[in-house]
Structure 1
């Protein structure tokens, strides 16, 4: 789950999860079609035996796949140079007979093997609102295309879809927040104003904002499979993509050979309170790892206590400083209050080695390291106009907030961090002002069944990182209760979305798709905690 700009991955081989990832120049020609197709049976030539997936135009029901140029991306992506590409055309709202159509960009990265397996892997991006096509490098770096094609399709509303439901003004304001008191009423008012301005802009373009959600997206992928003529495939979802994968397993199980979910966000648990639980698990794992290392524990004793005291102290008396960020010589004002510190740490588990030193420096009057990191993430120009807030709010405001109380965040914060000030507890990590934003977004609630637990015998790999402060590792055992063929794996010392950070996780994932009933997990035995930075 990534609502705001994601942080850089730790170690040089790690990549961004969301809009700031290296994502590419595209050739997708945009423009909505006037009306949906109404064909009821496959038309056009189907791929012959051994023909590459995605080389033939095909219409099935209301969906049509058309080969063509690769989808647009923010920056060039080497991994897409050999991709077979095109667009999937589907109704914007399948519940409305007169619905217009939308187009979703599709890129199929070929397998490295000369003779690919017939069941490809479909990559489900996170967010909500990240574009799967822009994450091709992450999928390839994870080894997913070793002997299977990897299919990346832009979820509806995302960057390479048509229409794209972007909100650059919201991204810009999220950058300005670094200079404001994070959870102040005045900040909330400005944030909601930015949200409503984007909503009004999209509605004026004729967008049916109620049609951007899990139900429609799951149907998009089911239509893609039939339109491509694929008999069976596999899903790999990261972060919010696990939310969509679990819904797809329940609503469209046909054709699913196996499913990998990484950084698990169960629909039945999604919401503000669960976010506090995830934060607790991730940061406690990190603090414990420091305490278990004699050098770290000696230099930074009682790290958890230091952090919790800082949250209260800074909420009462914020610290203001200035920093410079990469690519700009202009000083950036940064205000660090208790809410800022919580949200910084939620993301900073990706750079775990530096966390103890950063917290210690702040406790001793030096906010520069945290301020620099926080401002760099939030003001990164590569994150402006890339995330689909239209899809994000479509999910949050129809599937999450209608089914939790407005004080769910406060209750979750009180339970997990009773020492925190109420103003901090009231704003779930990375979901600040969620309920007021959803009031402004003003879309109908989804059917309550969208939050049903997924029960399935489809082989499933449930992967988590022990340092994941966004989607807690206990979500793995939770979803496995009703997945009869689930393998639950927690990768020690790793943050959110382990395929992007752990060679061991990558080996496990590749072995899972090879033999879903017996993934190889031997690499877990040799994993070691990070070497935390020790200040002189």
Structure 2
């Protein structure tokens, strides 16, 4: 309770105690640093300026020609260590994608995922160049503004139909790329090598001279490239959900999924009870996919396409800390094959919505009903009741603190008038903008506020164009009463709002493709994709064919840029832990071992019951890697491997009934 009161006191203080971060940033050198507001949601205990700080570091667009005048602002966050004596070398998280940042919406999740490391050291997170909120230099502002309704509301796609109805690259995407280049941006500088050179530039700028890297997904590519081109300062490395640069990633789209399917088949065969209940599971799975492709699998009176069968494995990979679906998948496959009732499918899909229920009070009491006296059982019931109350109170506290944090930011950083203006604007929209054409026009003009003059008259013109009646009068009165700083805050809020609503398009159709099309696709072919997919033990082509064809088609809009040394095995003696996971359908578990081929000081682990980025699934992975960062010379044992072993498989009730008959 005392910690909660201390947190609330700090949160509501006029100014945070910024001594720690002031001292840290004062040690920085090199690239310019600017402190900015942290975008929410934040974890409940965080105090901006005291436990977390956010900002930007301005780096050269081209590290090989740093004086050419072109720069990129990279957004970062420092999550302060929860100790008075932190290690000098922080953990630096290199995110995946490529192009999918974390700082617009992910700081709360990041704080939870990297909590084990904050016990001893700071955690640094940054959105890489052409990723998340570090995408300003590769954003086509005019094209997005002109098509804002399609981008922000309807979800613009990179394809359109030609006169014959065939898919082609959308002209909007081509125009967007052309606009970015015409603005002076060198698109060829947005690659993993330049990204790797950003790492030491950022860290020395914010006051560190040694660091530890934790890469997940594309972040493992970036980590390996940083080990190759910018190894100075790296103390140790973890790569988790590994994609080595020399793997032809777009030819092998199907391989990770096929590996995870084959592994489940092998795990079932290795358990006598599962093998007896679901014999020849691999053969049955192959048959179910073939029959569903032919339209011959029915469930609840509806045809089951092969994508549904494959979704059993995809959904398993998507569940972070939600219990394992592994035990139930063999029964689900057999139920589709049998074509009769499907109680396991109903339970997992309809009752649980793919999320295995957590242990609750009823389950605890049932597990201990034969072990306790009546008095002990009564005390356990009281304790479980108190635990439920604490859980609800914790949730309520988190909501209240988030609301308080938003209100404090609105009143202190923006001032009350911009907040009132935004509230009035929101109230006016449904009453005065009543047609689709009017809504599109208002949205387009609002998006245009991101650029150009930031004046009171411009805002006045905007509201007079799109609003009328009492709402217009109130909006104009609010504008008249605002200071110049408050006027600027309205423009800032508009820019942040539009960026948030267009971020999915920016990340998925510009940022990701800049990397994929310029440096990966030149080494991959659609013929190669078809060949590798056909070689897999299970036919997963129905799940990947559209994506496989799509990535090669859309990359026609980008220039292919061949990179020297990019597909060579990375050689290094930096202490490294490489982790592959059994559920992972995005990066093959086998690639974790492959990545260590040129690493002379590496340890490799396979975590059976985890998905893409094992850290987010299994608590022991955080414990294991935190211990490694504390002592990179330590030889880690297999405790985490054992703790995440495949659990016993579920034997559906109909199995015994079938055996009895």
Q: Give the structure-1-normalised TM-score.
A: 0.73
1:131 matched to 2:101? The reply is yes
For structure 2, the 5+ residue unaligned runs are 1-17, 320-324, 356-500, 654-661
Q: Does 1:439 align with 2:414?
A: no
Q: Which whole-Å deviations, capped at 9, do the CAs of 1:61-95 have from their partners, x for residues lacking one?
A: xx32222322x35x444465320221111233445
Equivalent residue of 1:275, what SS? coil
Q: How far 1:58 sits from its partner (Å)?
A: 5.2
Alignment of 1:86-485 (within 5 A): 86-94=55-63, 98=68, 100-133=70-103, 134=106, 137-138=109-110, 140-142=112-114, 143-163=116-136, 190=167, 193=169, 197-205=172-180, 206=183, 208-317=186-295, 337-338=305-306, 341-342=309-310, 345-351=313-319, 352-353=325-326, 354-364=328-338, 384-385=504-505, 387-417=507-537, 420=539, 424=542, 427=545, 431=548, 433-440=550-557, 442-485=558-601
Q: Distance in 2 between matches of 1:448 and 1:490?
A: 31
C-alpha separation in 2, matches of 1:112 and 1:69: 21
Q: Could you tell me how far apart the structure 1 residues matched to 2:138 and 2:522 are?
A: 22
TM-fit CA distance, 1:343:
6.2
- Kept in 2: contact 1:285–1:466 (CA 8 A): yes
Is contact 1:466-1:494 (8 Å) kept? yes
Distance 1:86 1:305 in 2: 55
Q: How many positions carry a matched residue from both structures?
A: 457
The whole-number CA distance in structure 1 between the counterparts of 2:534 and 2:627 is 41
Secondary structure at the residue paired with 2:554?
A: helix
| Separation in 2, partners of 1:95, 1:372 | 56
**Other-structure match for 2:492:** none
How many angstroms does 1:147 deviate by? Answer: 0.4
**Does the 8 Å CA contact 1:286/1:349 hold for their aligned counterparts?**
no
Q: Give secondary structure in 2 for the equivalent of 1:420.
A: coil
Offset, 1:432: 5.5
Aligned to 2:452: none
What's the offset of the Cα at 1:402? 0.5
- Helix, strand or coil at the partner of 2:255: helix
Q: CA deviation at 1:262?
A: 0.5
Q: CA deviation at 1:467?
A: 2.9
Contact 2:42 2:108 in 1 (8 A): no
Number of the residue aligned with 2:607: 491
Q: Per-residue displacement from partner, 1:138-168 (whole Å, max 9, x unpaired)?
A: 4543412110000001112222224186899
The aligned residue for residue 65 of structure 1 is 33
Separation in 1, partners of 2:23, 2:338: 59
Contact persistence 1:123–1:132 (CA under 8 A): no
Aligned 8 A contact 1:235 1:258 in 2: yes
- What RMSD, in angstroms, separates the aligned Cα atoms of the two structures? 4.1
1:492-507 equivalences in 2 (<5 Å): 492-507=608-623
CA shift, 1:458, in A, is: 0.7
Segments of 5+ residues of structure 1 without an aligned counterpart are 1-46, 178-184, 323-333
- 1:336/1:113 CA distance change after superposition, 3 Å: farther
